[in-house]
Structures are given as C-alpha cells and as structure tokens.
Amino acid sequence: MLLSGLDVVVVGGGVAGLGAAAALVQRGASVTLLEQAGGFLEVGAGLQISPNGARVLAALGQGEGLAQTALRSRAVVLRDGKSARDVLRLSLPDDGPGFHLIHRADLITLLERAAVGVKTRFVAQVTRIAPEGPRPCVTLAGGERIDADLVLGADGLHSVLRKTLNPTAPDAPFFTGQVAWRALIPCAPDAPHEAEVFMGPGRHLVSYPLRGGRLRNIVAVEERRAWAQEGWNHPDNPAHVRRAFAEFGGPVPGWLAQVDKVWLWGLFRHPVAPCWQAGHAAILGDAAHPTLPFMAQGANMALEDAFALMRNLEQAANIPEGLARYQMARQARVARVVAAATKNARNYHLRAPLAQIAHLALRLSGRLAPNAPLRQFGWIYDHDVTET
C-alpha cells in the first residue's frame, strides 16, 4: 500500500507515538501528533536501548545520533547486594547495533529529529476515539473533532483507544507487591559504561551512567505489601530508599547519600490487550502491552511496534489488512517479553539459601560459558523488525 499522502493522527508523544509518527512521515504520510502535555519535557530517567531497538533508530536515520548521544554499554554486572562482590559479568559486543544507555529526554529528541514534517499539537487531551468507518474520529477535551484515514493510540497505560477496542476485556491491573524508586545523581566521567545490578533478599538496585558520565541513573526495587500509586512521577522522601537498602554495600550507600530527589511508583502487571486494531485504528507501545521494567524492553518494544506497524501497512493492500498483519506479527512476541520481564524480577530477589545456590551457579556458568546468559535472550536482542 502506498503510504504517501495517507492522513494519520497519532495520539501520544512518547517513544511509541513519536516512533510511529517518524516511520510514517518518512514514507510520505501526513501525520498529526496530539500530545496532552505542554511540550516534550525533560522528564523521565535512564533507558537501555538494546540491539533490537537500536536497529529501528538506525532505520529511522538516527544511528549516528544514538552513537553520539548515548553511552555504549560494555557490560552488565550482577553483584551481591551486601558484599558488592561480582556474581556474573556479561561482556557486551563491541560491534553491531550494540547496547546503549540513554536519558529518556535524549531519546525523545532523536525521535523528534526523525519526525521532521510531523505536525505536533500540544495541550491536546483526547477524550474519545470513534474507530468506525474509513475516517475514524478523535474528540478533544474542548469538543474539537479530528478525523483521519488512520488513528493510532500511543497514549500509554490508560489509553483511550485501548478501552474502545477492548470494551469487555478484563483490563484491571494488579499490584505485583513491588515498588520502585528512581533517581538521578552526579556521576564521575570515568565511571565504567556498564549497567550494575545489586541483588538482595526481596530487593535489587540497578545503576548506570548517562550523558557522557555526568549523571548516574538509579532504579531501586523493593518487595512490600504496602500499595503504591502507579506511574513514575510521584515524589517520595529519599530517606525511604536509603532505609530500604541500608544493608547494601559497595558504592550503593554513597550513591544513595547523594539522592536529594526521588520518585516512587508501584509496579502493576497489565494484561496484553486482546485486540490491538479494528478498521482504521490501532494501538501500540504501552497502550497495547505495558511491561515491567526487568528486561529493560519497554522503549525497545515501542520502537519495534512503530516500525513494524509502518512496514505491515506498506506491504498490505489496504489499512485494515495492514493493521491485522501488524497485530499478528507483534502480539506473541511482546507477550513473551512481558513474561520474561516478570520472571526476571523473581530471579533478582532470591533469599537464602536459594540466593547462595543461584549465585554459585551463575559464577560457574560465567567461567564455563561466559556468553550463555546473553545467548539465552538472543531471541529478544537479535530480532530485526527492519529486515525487508
């Protein structure tokens, strides 16, 4: 199908929305992006872009920008939380698309550069989407109505279009019994370009440098019964995260002592949406498949969705066929990634004596087959949605 001149409305200006807008406008579509915020703000924290996501950025013309903006990750290091002793070091490849450490705002900037020609409207809150017919219609909070050949919902966890496409599907998330804090602190420019995971009973902490080593990203996860609100922008007292990780050693106490602002969010598991598309409307990214952060694949899956949606439209005879092909191509894969992320959380939080047994097994595997853990997830990292 020829995408040139296709009239598209994208709801949501995050990674999925900007990625889809960029992919479509580069094929000649006329794209309007609706974002409820007042602009693309300097919000969020660190993200990890793995090779599957890096391939999409390269296909959108931002491979060089990624190399210049992000830090190329050299390793993932699993450590015992209390002693900070290495459990397993996974060296990452120096060649190929690579693994990258990037601030979310910098990724948004790269996608903005890829989306030249997209008409962006800020402070545009969508209240209703009617997907029926060849010209689905979007209604804004002030009553304005916008129709288009294609409407895409990339509006995150509480997507208007997801609810419209799945009116009877059970959609209530459930609290996983885990909360996460995120913070940014100053970082030494000579800090190793690696992601460090400190593991302890019922909790773990992930840290890596950003922005040329000027910042250090911290995400700390704790199991607990007390419920916390979903969403990653709720401020908390830094003393709470310091108390939760008081028994951790190595650099962790020093890092947490520098935290002056911290955000807390509850981790909820959402089902993958049963229906992603109907007629001339579709959802992507978190609107279709929110995932827990324990495989660092949220942004990567959003990038894959964006490119796969464009490619399937391009290869189809018409919009409904293209959207149906898109869901068929993506749904099983993202469900498998969501399940892997859920399982990974348990692996980081083992208690004695299982923790000691598991750590010993990891150390032995690191000596005998150092690349085995990375190969275990080759099905994620080696995937290439940009292949023709």
CB 173 within 8 A of CB 55: no
Amino acid at site 75 = A
Look up tokens 């060849």; give the residue.
Answer: 134
CB 76 within 8 A of CB 92: yes
Catalytic residue among 208, 326, 348, 381: 208
| Residues contacting 368, CB < 8 A, separation 6+ | none
Rounded to the nearest 5 degrees, what angle is found at the Cα of 97, between the Cα atoms of 362 and 369? 20
Strand order, beta sheet including 145-147: 126-130, 137-140, 145-147
DSSP secondary structure of 211-271: GGGTEEEEEEEEE-SS---SSS-EEE-HHHHHHHTTT--TTHHHHHHT---EEEEEEEE-P
- Alpha-carbon span 3 to 5, nearest angstrom: 6
Whole-number Cα distances in Å, 353 to 65, 159, 213, 349, 350: 46, 43, 37, 12, 8
To the query of whether residue 326 is one of the catalytic residues in this protein, the response is no
Residues marked as catalytic: 208
